[in-house]
Amino acid sequence: MDKTQEIMQQVRRIEMQARRLVTATFAGQYRSGFRGQGLDFDDFREYMPGDEPRFIDWKVTARTGTPYVRKFHEEREQALLLAVDTSASMRYAGGGSTDSKLEYAARIAAVLAFSAVQNGDKIGLLLFGCRPHLYLPPAKGMKQCLRVVREILSAPPGGEDDSMEDITTEIILTQRKPAMCFLISDFLMQPDKQAVGKLSFVHELIPLRINDPLELELPMVGSFYAQDPESGEQFIATPGDEDMRTAHSKAMRAHMLNWERTFTRQGIDYLSLLTHLDFMPELRKLFARRSRLFAR
């Protein structure tokens, strides 16, 4: 079986899984958790407690001396943008999972895209972490949904992580109209509070961080040759060394905590997912939280 046939089989398998997973309940949660996209400017009004700070108009506020926010009216059509990391580290599979992080990301993307199709929304895609980057402008329909999954699975071999600043710049330049942006990555790049804040100001940003369990806790085994998937550097790993295992675990958890603080301080909801666990319960909780927040 050639690579194209293998990918198409994966696409169809993921499509069938997504159809089963996207129940009427989740489709409703998806819609109710969709806010701040597809909006046209309407007018200004004074800021009230509970308003989103990103809608404050600083020019009007400075001129009047009173905080003002921009009012919008919602368009009928919404846009879902899936920004997916395809760097080399996303190809890793271990820790009891049959999926690589990229395949896991493709399954999540399929559920979100299929939900968008059911709600009559447009779906767009940006692949980063590989060259050249790929951008699919938002479009409706199952054909677009299936192409999104296919492009993720068939992305060319990735290299090093793009910086968060580069990712932000590309998303803002390519997707000019506000969208619900799911940023799906292992987030091994360095945290960047300014870039995250800039992106969340323009789009409704929801980061989904995907990690493999073996990235967080090295197994107790002897020494072996290892290779950094992004730089290509080879080295001898000795995870049987307790000090090394402890240092690695502390470094990974500190890195994850830095990203969590970056998101939390910007008021951004996010998910941390592990490839050996079902993502649907966490995805449902995310949309349930957003539904309750926007119902206030």
Q: Over the stretch 256-274, which tens digit does the pLDDT of each residue have?
A: 999 999 999 999 999 999 9
Residues 17 and 55 in one domain: no
Please report, as a single letter, which amino acid is at residue 149.
Answer: V
Cα(275)–Cα(261) distance, integer angstroms: 22
Residues 186 and 45 in one domain: no
Please tell me whether residues 69 and 150 are part of one structural domain: no
Interatomic CA distance for residues 72 and 41, integer angstroms: 4
- Residue-range definition of the domain harbouring residue 261: 3-36+75-294
Does 27 share its domain with 86?
yes
Cβ–Cβ contacts within 10 Å for residue 114, how many? Answer: 26
At residue 1 the predicted structure's pLDDT band, cuts being 50, 70 and 90, is low
pLDDT for the residue numbered 144: 95
DSSP letter for each residue of 265-295: HTT---EEEETTS-SHHHHHHHHHHHHHHHT
Task: Indicate if the pLDDT at residue 120 is higher than 60.
Answer: yes
| pLDDT 10s digits, 59-79 | 888 888 888 887 765 555 679
Of the chain, the percentage scoring pLDDT greater than 70 comes to 80
> What is the tally of structural domains in the chain?
2
What are 123-182's pLDDT values in tens digits?
A: 999 999 988 889 999 999 999 999 999 999 999 887 788 999 999 999 999 998 889 999
Boundary-marking domain end, from 73, 89, 122: 73
Q: Is 170 helix (H, G, I), strand (E, B) or coil?
A: helix
pLDDT at position 35, please?
56
Same domain, 46 and 90: no
DSSP string, 19-69: HHH--HHHHHHHHHT--SSSEEEEEEEE--TT--GGGB-HHHHHHHSS-EE
Quick: pLDDT tens for 173-213: 999 888 999 999 999 999 999 999 999 999 999 999 999 98
Residues 6+ apart with CB under 8 A from 217: 245, 249
Same domain, 198 and 231: yes
Model's pTM, two decimal places?
A: 0.79
Query: Is the domain of 29 the same as that of 44?
Result: no
Cα 265-268-270 angle, rounded to 5 deg: 120
Helical packing angle, 101-118 and 280-294, nearest 10°: 40
State residue 139's pLDDT score: 95
The percent of residues above 90 in pLDDT, for the chain, comes to: 43
| Claim to verify: residue 146 and residue 279 sit in the same structural domain | yes
User: What CATH number does residue 28 fall under?
Assistant: 3.40.50.410
85 and 142 co-located in one domain? yes
Residue 68 corresponds to which tokens in the numbers above?
């003002």
Mean pLDDT (whole number) for 4-12: 84
- 180 and 267 fall within a common domain: yes
- For residues 94 and 241, membership in a common domain is answered with yes
pLDDT of residue 102: 95
Based on the fold, state whether residues 55 and 165 are members of the same structural domain. no
Q: Are 80 and 116 in contact (CB under 8 A)?
A: yes
